[in-house]
């Protein structure tokens, strides 16, 4: 009698432990659907990874879509002056175009290093490192298999005030040539005031360099066949970095005053873009790092599209922003609104540390040491002006 009840207790305990474990594993592998975060199947990569799409919706009906391949933002809607929500970020129409190369880096999380590192090498604490050379002589956006090609673990954050996704990716020591195992966490939050907040965190087990950013291309018209040259842009920066022929900073910090690079007062992107200017020729348009005024989390740029009334304000705690006017978009892919992704039909405002910092001692450092925590925040806030 006694023995039977002990056996029953043991059986019950075993069942309970098994049940609890199962639940824990499920929460790791099974995406959870919450009221304001929907999960659906997106596609399957050539490696056989099945990719999910997470759709976040705020109380106004604004939507953010993110996939667990590259942490890519595939869609983001924003209201126009009549309250109409339309997609304002460029993207492909076929999932495989994201999976097989994403040559424009549409919507992707960029790591370990946003923008270029000269000659694909740098020296850190006396050791020299060769990293992946994927852009002429240089390394661009973390190498060919940078974070934009990786499978990210995504969890909707429970009990967050607004719909929030937590994305994690661990980059092995030596990946794309970079030293140290890097544990990376990114949070995407869609708030009720139509703001997309992006927070980045990273830790390493060996000295390394890190510069994370987001590569969404915006077109506030909601029509991706239109160029962005009519968008009015203001950047809070008195200086920018001049570049050489391969778009590596020369080290010179140039004053924007009196040049086509002056966006201190709002002006259409197209106003001076075709000026006879050596720096514009090198970038085939704007493709430069502006040295942002001030420090800490602050408003750094504002974009206004008069026809739709849409406004996008950018805030960041980073020292720089790469304003890229979509000069390498070459019409090879379909847009989500019909037609092709042509020259200058989208622009990026990539908040970042300066390009090639690991090789330029006068720039703010991008080094990360074991025990330190990399933290950075960028906000894209949408509103309307009538
Ligand atoms: C760079 C461009 C590059 C583009 C890739 C931007 O961040 O500054 O030079 O072509 O990314 O789509």
Give the Å distance between the CA of 337 and the centre of ligand 1. Answer: 23
Ligand 1: does its nearest atom lie under 6 Å from the Cβ of 287? yes
Give the Å distance between the CA of 115 and the centre of ligand 1. Answer: 7
Q: Note whether residue 163 is domain-resident.
A: yes
Ligand 1: does its nearest atom lie under 6 Å from the Cβ of 322? yes
33 vs 22: which has the higher pLDDT: 33
Q: Note whether residue 2 is domain-resident.
A: no
Q: Note whether residue 11 is domain-resident.
A: no
- Whether 153 shows a pLDDT value over 60: the answer reads yes
* pLDDT, position 7: 53
- Whether 246 shows a pLDDT value over 90: the answer reads yes
Mean pLDDT value across the chain: 93
Give the Å distance between the CA of 324 and the centre of ligand 1. Answer: 7
Which domain covers residue 85, as residue numbers? Answer: 37-384
Mean pLDDT calculated for residue range 300-315: 99
Q: How far is CA 355 from CA 11, 159, 362, in A?
A: 61, 37, 12
Closest approach atom of ligand 1 to CA 350: 7
Whether 215 is a known active-site residue: answer: yes
Q: Note whether residue 165 is domain-resident.
A: yes
- Whether 13 shows a pLDDT value over 50: the answer reads no
Ligand 1: does its nearest atom lie under 6 Å from the Cβ of 328? yes
Ligand 1: does its nearest atom lie under 6 Å from the Cβ of 347? no
Q: Note whether residue 19 is domain-resident.
A: no
* pLDDT, position 351: 99
Q: Note whether residue 23 is domain-resident.
A: no
Q: List the catalytic residue out of 215, 288, 305, 353.
A: 215
The dihedral region occupied by 380, where left means phi > 0, alpha psi between -120 and 50, and beta the remainder, is beta
Beta-carbon count within 10 A of 67 CB: 22
- Whether 14 shows a pLDDT value over 50: the answer reads no
Q: Are 88 and 219 in contact, with CB atoms under 8 Å apart?
A: yes
Query: Would you say the pTM of this structure is higher than 0.85?
Result: yes
Q: How far is CA 136 from CA 133, 196, 250, in A?
A: 7, 34, 17
CATH of the domain at 105: 2.70.98.10
- Round to whole Å and give the CA distance between 312 and 380: 6
Mean pLDDT calculated for residue range 156-176: 97
Per the structure, how many domains does the chain have? 1
- Round to whole Å and give the CA distance between 111 and 214: 9
Q: Note whether residue 204 is domain-resident.
A: yes
Q: How far is CA 384 from CA 190, 199, 302, 352, 373, in A?
A: 17, 25, 12, 26, 36
> Among residues 207, 194, 348, which one has the least CA distance to residue 285?
348
* pLDDT, position 5: 52
* Residue with CA nearest ligand 1 atom 12: 104
Q: Note whether residue 127 is domain-resident.
A: yes
For residue range 347-377, list pLDDT tens digits in order: 999 999 999 999 999 999 999 999 999 999 9
Tokens of 164: 């929030």
């Amino acid at each position: 009698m006694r023995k039977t009840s002990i056996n029953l207790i043991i059986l019950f305990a075993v069942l309970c432990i098994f049940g609890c474990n199962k639940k824990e594993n499920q929460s790791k592998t099974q995406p959870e659907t919450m009221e304001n975060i929907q999960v659906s199947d997106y596609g399957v990569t050539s490696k056989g990874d099945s990719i999910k799409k997470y759709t976040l919706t705020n109380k106004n009906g604004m939507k953010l879509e993110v996939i667990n391949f590259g942490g890519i933002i595939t869609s983001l809607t924003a209201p126009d002056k009549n309250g109409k929500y339309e997609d304002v970020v460029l993207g492909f129409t076929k999932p495989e175009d994201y999976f097989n190369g994403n040559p424009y880096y549409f919507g992707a999380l960029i790591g370990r290093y946003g923008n270029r590192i000269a000659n694909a090498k740098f020296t850190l604490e006396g050791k020299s490192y060769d990293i992946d050379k994927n852009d002429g002589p240089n390394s661009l956006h973390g190498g060919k298999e940078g974070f934009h090609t990786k499978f990210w673990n995504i969890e909707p954050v429970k009990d967050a005030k607004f719909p929030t996704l937590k994305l994690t990716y661990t980059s092995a020591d030596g990946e794309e040539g970079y030293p140290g195992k890097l544990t990376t966490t990114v949070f995407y939050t869609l708030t009720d005031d139509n703001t997309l907040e992006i927070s980045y965190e990273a830790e390493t087990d060996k000295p390394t360099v890190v510069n994370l950013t987001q590569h969404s291309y915006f077109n506030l018209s909601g029509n991706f066949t239109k160029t962005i040259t009519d968008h009015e842009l203001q950047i809070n920066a008195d200086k920018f970095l001049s570049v050489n022929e391969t778009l590596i900073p020369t080290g010179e910090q140039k004053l924007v005053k009196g040049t086509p690079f002056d966006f201190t007062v709002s002006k259409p992107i197209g106003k001076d873009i075709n000026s006879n200017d050596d720096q514009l020729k090198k970038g085939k348009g704007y493709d430069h790092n502006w040295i942002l005024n001030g420090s800490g989390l602050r408003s750094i740029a504002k974009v206004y599209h008069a026809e739709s009334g849409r406004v996008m304000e950018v805030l960041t705690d980073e020292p720089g922003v790469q304003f890229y006017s979509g000069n390498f978009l070459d019409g090879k892919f379909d847009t989500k609104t019909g037609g092709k992704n042509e020259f200058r039909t989208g622009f990026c405002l990539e908040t970042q540390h300066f390009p090639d910092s690991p090789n330029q001692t006068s720039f703010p450092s991008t080094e990360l040491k074991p025990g330190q925590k990399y933290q950075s925040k960028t906000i894209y806030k949408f509103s309307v002006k009538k």
